[in-house]
Amino acid sequence: MTPDELTLADLPIRDDLRGRTPYGAPQIDVPVRLNTNENPYPPSPELVGDLAEEVRRGAGELNRYPDRDASALRADLADYLGHGLDASRVWAANGSNEVLQQILQAFGGYGRTALGFEPSYSMHPIITTGTSTEWIGGAREDDFSLDPAKAAAAVEEHRPDIVFLTSPNNPTGTALPLETIARVLEAAPGMVVVDEAYAEFAREGTPSALSLLPSHPRLIVTRTMSKAFAMAGTRLGYLAAHPAVIEALLLVRLPYHLSTLTQAAARVALRHRVELLGTVDALRRERDATVEWLRGQGLTVADSDANFVLFGRFPERRAVWEGLLERGVLIREVGPPEWLRVSIGTGEEMAAFRAAMEGVL
């Protein structure tokens, strides 16, 4: 065999990775991109100016490694989260995906299991199996909610080392009541991760799992600056947990994992949080209008507390996805068969989505 003929199958990769497909939301350059739950509003010129200034300052010291523990950033994140948190209870990494991977590295691994309730975020099983942890897929109700008793029963049956709860859930938009999270925490023998990537978009009065931290030392709440904070390109995710949990993560994180520039950009974004989170209300309104409009078209639409909407049901969902793409609108073919997910964009982008949908339907 020549080097040109070599394929992945010829390499001595781990047996448990053979035949797997990588995470792959298409990145296609079209006028209206509504497929990866980004915030459609770019940073303001003031934020960009402030960021450029901080980068200039940091650039003069790039011969040195960054603050390995990201202490100042973690203090800022704790201040943002409130709930009496401080830097010792907050951890940050390159996107919440890296945060989740570190959690799996510390608490999962060979011979261990992680349980999540599907459909949910596709990276949970991918990161789980990528760390040689066994994935157990639990079920949701037909309306994508979680029955607290059934969820607790699944945890008691499988006794997983890690439980994933996602609230609001991706791709369904479903938020979890605190009682459900508390029931799972009582049943779980190991760590419980509540992935709150979309927490800021939840309806008024939806409490965060952060409020359960003081009484539950095995709870980890993960967040991200990729969504409401409109900083997906920065790659900054974080979590809140008991200080002992942070100590566990220090055992597996790579030294200097968060670059000087990432730390600086995240701190600038936090200083500008009033402006950045100012887009959340508009996105929530646009979301609710999108749900209503889709239902008006006679479609089935999941209730959403996030910045995206899952709708269906299309026996040929690929044809609908392609029809929209032909009209310059990229959405996501994800979740259960027959359903599609649209991320909430600007008013103009959603008008383009509606026009394209009318064309397709």
Residues that bind ligand PMP (CB under 6 A): 37, 95-97, 121, 166, 170, 195, 197, 224, 226, 232, 237
Tokens 């994935």 label which residue?
135
DSSP for residue 68: T
Contacting residues for 252 by C-beta, under 8 A, at least 6 apart: 102, 105, 106
**Identity of the amino acid at 204:** E
For ligand PMP, the closer CB: 94 or 346: 94
For ligand PMP, the closer CB: 198 or 327: 198
Quote the least distance from Cβ 5 to ligand PMP, whole Å.
36
Quote the least distance from Cβ 294 to ligand PMP, whole Å.
20
For ligand PMP, the closer CB: 207 or 323: 207
For ligand PMP, the closer CB: 108 or 327: 108
Quote the least distance from Cβ 194 to ligand PMP, whole Å.
10
Quote the least distance from Cβ 82 to ligand PMP, whole Å.
20
**Identity of the amino acid at 21:** T
Phi and psi angles of residue 223, each rounded to the nearest 5 degrees, phi first: -135, 175
Cβ burial of 254 (10 Å; 0-12, 13-18, 19+) is exposed
Residue 360 sits at the vertex; the CA angle it makes with 359 and 361, to the nearest 5 degrees, is 95
For ligand PMP, the closer CB: 97 or 263: 97
Instruction: Using alpha carbons, select from 332, 328, 334 the residue that is nearest to residue 360.
Output: 328
The region that residue 266 occupies, defined by phi over 0 for left and psi between -120 and 50 for alpha, beta otherwise, is alpha
Cβ burial of 281 (10 Å; 0-12, 13-18, 19+) is exposed
Quote the least distance from Cβ 223 to ligand PMP, whole Å.
8
Quote the least distance from Cβ 101 to ligand PMP, whole Å.
10
Quote the least distance from Cβ 237 to ligand PMP, whole Å.
4
Nearest residue to ligand PMP by CB is: 95
For ligand PMP, the closer CB: 235 or 317: 235
For ligand PMP, the closer CB: 174 or 226: 226
For ligand PMP, the closer CB: 97 or 260: 97
How far is Cα 87 from Cα 85, in angstroms, rounded to an integer?
A: 7
Copy the structure tokens of residue 235.
Answer: 């790659």
Quote the least distance from Cβ 315 to ligand PMP, whole Å.
26
Give the DSSP per-residue string, 138-189. EE--TTS---HHHHHHHHHHH--SEEEEESS-TTT-PPPPHHHHHHHHHH-S
